[in-house]
Amino acid sequence: MDFPPARSNTQAYGWKRFAFCFFLVGRVWLRFIQGRTYWHKVPEHLFKTGPSSLLPILLVNGMGGVIFTVQTARQLAKFGAVNSVGGAFGASFCRELSPIITATIFAGQVGSAFAAEIGAMRVTEQIDALYTLKTDPIDYLVLPRMIACCLMVPVLMGFAMLCGILGGAFSARQFYQMPPMVFVESIRSFLEPSDLISILSKGLIFGILVGIIGCGWGLTTNGGVKQVGESATAATVVCAIAIFAADLVVSLLVFDSLPI
């Protein structure tokens, strides 16, 4: 797992990090199939990744649901179609905005923490000590974190979507006198079971991206304390870009499969 320093060429160093993460995915999958995971570490990371991110995710999604409903209903009211605001909410907020908001907050909270924690272990030679103890860092450090991310992101998206719907129903009732059941029924008429599968699939993909990039940027940290902070910041930015890129690809695939 040694990663050669390349501080003289920042761009080349960045591409080597991406290449490292690409091969890290293969190694993680192989070690998972081989059953090399330290399963007793998974609950610890589940607790660290889930509850720590839940409150900001709920707050942002709740406020986002209110804002989206108010602005959308204002435009629909001009055409006398305010009762369709729930459908627009389901088609846009539940399918796209809520998953992206949730994953981005999760990346800032968890991806940066992974990069900083593992990066600190890297520069203080604790990872080299794991090799001395005949322990593979992939099994001990990366796999439990990856599993925790893959499990928690879809769960957090479910809570986030529910909070966003509650915020949207509240704003629709408060500002447009729309009964909450009308709002929810409008959402239900637009969303299909395949949409829920798509949303959960996005959660799994986003969890993999956050886990791989956070751990990969930590394992490739070279230098000292300053570089640990740089790795944490870079991991957050790269995670956000990767989340939007993955969402774009998934959305295009889903759109292309929809009947005209």
Amino acid at 103: A
List, for residues 116-130, the tens digit of each pLDDT value: 999 999 888 888 888
Give the pLDDT confidence score for residue 11 in this predicted structure: 54
With bands split at pLDDT 50, 70 and 90, how would you rate the model's confidence at 8? very low
Q: At what angle do helices 98-106 and 51-77 cross, to 10 degrees?
A: 150
Query: CA 29 to CA 32: how far, in whole Å?
Result: 5
Per the document, the length of the chain is 260
CB 205 within 8 A of CB 246: yes
Q: How far is CA 147 from CA 5, 42, 166, 202, in A?
A: 29, 7, 30, 15
Q: What pLDDT score was predicted for residue 257? A: 55
pLDDT given for residue 6 in this prediction: 41
Q: Is residue 7's pLDDT more than 80?
A: no
CB-based contact 161:199 (threshold 8 Å): yes
Please count the other Cβ atoms lying within 10 Å of the Cβ belonging to residue 165: 24
The model's confidence at residue 64, banded by pLDDT at 50, 70 and 90, is very high
Query: For the segment 182-241, what is each residue's pLDDT rounded down to a tens digit?
Result: 888 888 888 877 778 888 889 999 999 999 999 999 998 888 888 898 889 999 999 999
Whether the model pTM is above 0.95: no
- Residue 160: what pLDDT? 93
Distances (CA, A) of 254 to 96, 115, 136, 154, 201: 12, 32, 38, 18, 11
User: For position 245, what pLDDT does the model report?
Assistant: 94
pLDDT top residue among 133 and 60: 60
Would you say 231 and 116 are in contact if contact means Cβ atoms under 8 Å apart?
A: yes
Give 163's contacts (C-beta < 8 A, 6+ positions apart). 58, 61, 62, 65
Q: Are 137 and 37 in contact (CB under 8 A)?
A: no
